[in-house]
Each structure stands twice: as structure tokens, then as C-alpha cells.
Amino acid sequence: MTYRTIGTRGPRVSAIGLGCMRMSFGDRPIGTRDDMIAVIRAAVERGVTFFDTAEVYGPFTNEELVGEALEPFRDEVVIATKFGFRHESGVGPTPAAGLDSRPEQIRRVAEASLKRLRVDAIDLFYQHRVDPDVPIEDVAGTVGDLVAEGKVKHFGLSEASADTIRRAHAVHPVTAVQSEYSMWWRSPEQEIIPTLEELGIGFVPFSPLGKGFLTGTIDENTTFDSSDIRSRTPRFAPEMRRANLALVDRIREIASARGATPAQIALSWLLAQKPWIVPIPGTRRLERLDENNAAADIELTDGDLRIIGAALDAIPIEGDRYPPDMNRMTDR
């Protein structure tokens, strides 16, 4: 595993992190809690030092899982978690309940996450989605206070616009921005990446493998469980998948020429964009963990990048990346 620094002020972490959400949230789990703890600990043994979770995943159960799994390695790893969703009585935070980044709520979430993660300080604390009802200056100021109190080390934003990033950064330094970015969602290249480069902020792409599509293991006949968000995502409708497979076919050709897998080419392409980009592919299988990690050792040549760039420019991607209810929560 190779390592890189998240922005100019962030922690040094493994070039590829591990997104832990689907180990206990999002669709039907594969394996038991003990199985997932074993995968997380195997990741540490393989050199992974950056792990991503959130209070809403579960809710709460994913933080508890990550906290238990990483407790023996606390001084060796960086854990990111998130706040920002409203809590429903007796249920906890859910996307359906809406957003809540009021200062008092941020503090409540921080205290609870510290306990679930079994840590003295949260390494990286993201606002999960921008709350239009709370000025971002108030959010940044509250997290800044938590940093001053030693309860949080770094402040992050997720799916935030360039303007929001600048406003937050003016109040308290933003260490990292987490947003979707991959070969089939390149919107951050327009405004987000130039803004981050200017301000010295790191970028943490989630869904770097296009929710699995860029691995080459999904086709128009693949079915998804009703608990899987892909079952209601426009981009995963059969007719959209049929059109988008043209990109996967091109990636597969490039991967074959390099003796790699499509997933490895997709991840190595992300790593080649900027030295401060750290993708967090999620997996629940050791073989996929090893496959993803090996992408950090693939160095794409300028020729490789030109070929990939030409393919990306020539093949339009069909379908929205989110269902309508989730699109509404994206800061524009």
C-alpha cells in the first residue's frame, strides 16, 4: 500500500481507504457482524489506514461496528464519520427525516459518535449533506469549537458546492470534501476540484467504482434487492445500464492490456487525477479488498490517461445518479 496526505493540512493515510457503509446499511448484508469485523481488521493488516462511516448508517450500528473493529488499532488508523440528518423519535437519524445541522445537534452527534467509535477525538467529522436552513458559517464555527475542545481533529464537507466550501473554509479550515467522483460521474472536475486545489483541501471520492458498475460485474440483466438503492436509481434502470455498458467495455479493454481488472483501472485513474485524492471503495469481501488495494500499485502512463480520457469524452453516461428524493439533498 502507498500513502498520501489528504490536502495540505490533513492526515497521511493509505492511498485507498475503505468505505464501511454497506457492512451494516444500505442493502442486505453479506455475512455476520463478526465477518465484517474480520474484513475491517484484515484491511488494517494489509495497510489500509483510512475508514469511513456515519451515524446514519444503520442508524448507529455502522459506527459501533467500526469502533469495535478498530479499537485495537486506534493509534494506527484514521476514522471519518458524519453528522447532518434529523433524528426521528425512537429511530435515530434517517435521510427520510430530513437534514439537521443546528449547532446543538452537531454537538449531540459528536458526543454520541465518540462513544460508539470508542475514541477520544473524531479524526475527520463531515457534514453529511448541506442543510439549507443552517448557515454554513454556523456549522463551521461549531465544528471549529469542537476542534478547539479536542473532540474533533479535522472538519469535512460532503456533496457541498464550491461556494459553500469557500464560505465554510473562511470560518474554519476544511480538511476534506467527500463527494461522488468516478469515471461515470465527473461533475466535480468542473468546479469542486479546482476549488479544492486552490484552497489546499483534500478530496475523498465515494462510489469510486460507480456503485459497482465500473467493476464489470453488472450488466442489463443484473437484479437488485429492494433494499439496495440501485433498485430505484435511474442510472441502474436496465435500459440505462445497456447504454452505459459501452464505457465498461472500453475500460475492460484497457484493463486487459495492463493485466489488471476494470475496477483497478477505475481506481488508479482516480489516483492519477491529483495526489491529494483518496477514494474509499466499499466492500464486504476479502478478495475485493485485495483487488481494490492493488490498484494503488498501478501507475497509469500519460498514454494510458489519454486513451481513457478519449473514451470518457466519447461515451455519454445515461441516467441520473440518484433517485429524485436524494437529488434534492445535493448542494448546488
Residues 6 or more apart in contact with residue 267 via CB below 8 angstroms: 16, 208, 209, 279, 281, 292, 295, 296
Say how many CA atoms lie within 13 Å of 94 toward its Cβ. Answer: 8
CB 159 within 8 A of CB 207: no
Q: Which of 295, 289, 213 is nearest to 260 (CA)?
A: 295
Catalytic residue among 3, 57, 126, 322: 57
- Give Cα separations from 243 to 38, 64, 163 (angstroms): 38, 40, 34
**Strand-strand pairing, 78-83 and 50-52:** parallel
Sign of the four-CA dihedral 49, 19, 329, 24: negative
47 φ/ψ sector (left φ>0, alpha ψ -120 to 50, else beta): left
* Residue among 226, 215, 233 at smallest CA distance from 288: 215
Q: Contact 220/245 with Cβ under 8 angstroms?
A: yes
What is the bridge-based pairing of β-strands 174-180 and 152-158?
A: parallel
Catalytic site includes residue 57: yes
Instruction: Report d(CA 30, CA 186) in Å as an integer.
Output: 30
- C-alpha pair distances (Å), 317 with each of 189, 239, 262: 15, 12, 17
Q: Please give the DSSP secondary-structure letter assigned to residue 331.
A: -
Instruction: Say which DSSP state 76 is in.
Output: G
Region at 298 (left for phi over 0; alpha for psi -120 to 50; beta for the rest): beta
* Cα–Cα distance measured from residue 205 to residue 178, given in angstroms and rounded to the nearest whole number: 6
Catalytic residues: 57
